[in-house]
Amino acid sequence: MPDSVAVAAVTFDRPDDVKILLEALAAQSGNITSVALVDSGKSPVSDIAEASSAPVNYIRSNTNLGGAGGFSLAILSAMASGAEWIWIMDDDAHPEDPECVATLLAAAKERGLDVVLPLVVAPGAPDTLSFHFRLDGKLTHDRAEVAARGFLPNVGHFFNGALIRADVFYRVGLPDLRLFIRGDETDFMIRLRRAGIEFGTVTTVALTHPAAWAEVQPVLGDRMHVLVPETPFKQFYFYRNRGHLTRRYTRVKSFVADAVGYPIHFARTRDPRGFANWLRAYAAGIGGRRFGPPSDFGF
């Protein structure tokens, strides 16, 4: 019998994207036994889930649990199905071709890994990566340049297409609900590394997902950059969660890079308000403060 795969997916008011995702999952050649779809949106997509030819288990959440909470709920549901592997999927992502999950499974077996990830490419630009890799100290979004390296060990972009053996969650836990969005994937990756669970990116297969190029702000050319999300909502959670993870895991290099990079960036852009917002959120994360539902912070 082929390995069974259950998809853990989350959605929030993206009906068109969900339809594309479910169509792509239904077309997969691998043995996808169920799709746990957690919907926290204001406009439920139950009709799209019901009409899909994919084996969807639609889960309505009347509370917005964020990406971290939504993925946790979806992963638990997927695990409850009895599947051997959990394939994590955001609603605005979809597999590039029908062999995606089969290729990931083959790579995991060949390398004896419990976690593998695909590349993530930009919509309409399959030769360009949505999220950068750092090769030889320089950032690149060039798919061919990254693919030429072959398998990339112990690096990847969670949670877009990560294929994880179900047993792994018993060893490292679920995504941290407190992080809500932005940073939950980094936290999970750090936990994998600390648990000694090897993983990596399979560069022969990809998912399509909107790019984050605009967030990357160079500070010292290719040697240093900072990330500045596009909305105050995302900025708050990214800065706070980054501070939290820096403190939690004693990430000295990360702290030094942030303490140097962000002041330089906001000085160059002449944005004192942006600097003040970064400093407040980052300090709150380091101090373990300002955790709670978004309504507590005016969102």
Residue pLDDT, tens place only, 60-83: 999 999 999 999 999 999 999 999
Given the DSSP bridges, would you call strands 138-142 and 125-135 parallel, antiparallel or unpaired?
A: antiparallel
The pLDDT, as a whole number, for residue 221 is 75
Can you give the pLDDT at residue 173? 97
Amino acid letter at 15?
Answer: P
* pLDDT at residue 116 tops 90: yes
Assess whether pLDDT exceeds 80 at residue 1: no
Averaged pLDDT for residues 21-30: 96
| Mean of pLDDT values over 145-161 | 94
Rounded CA gap, 39 and 47, in Å?
12
CA neighbor of 190 nearest in space, from 203, 170, 172, 177: 172
Mean pLDDT estimate for the chain: 95
Where does the pLDDT of residue 298 fall: very low under 50, low under 70, confident under 90, or very high at 90 and above? Answer: confident
Q: Which H, E and C letters describe 54-80, residue by residue?
A: CCEEEEECCCCCHHHHHHHHHHHHHHH
What confidence tens digit (pLDDT) does each residue in 236-283 have?
999 999 999 999 999 999 999 999 999 999 999 999 999 999 999 999
Judged by phi (left if over 0) then psi (alpha if -120 to 50, else beta), residue 272 lies in alpha
Q: Is the pLDDT of residue 132 over 80?
A: yes
For residue 281, count other CB atoms closer than 10 A to its CB. 24
Q: How confident is the model at residue 137 (pLDDT cuts 50, 70, 90)?
A: confident
Rounded CA-CA distance 186/206 in Å is 20
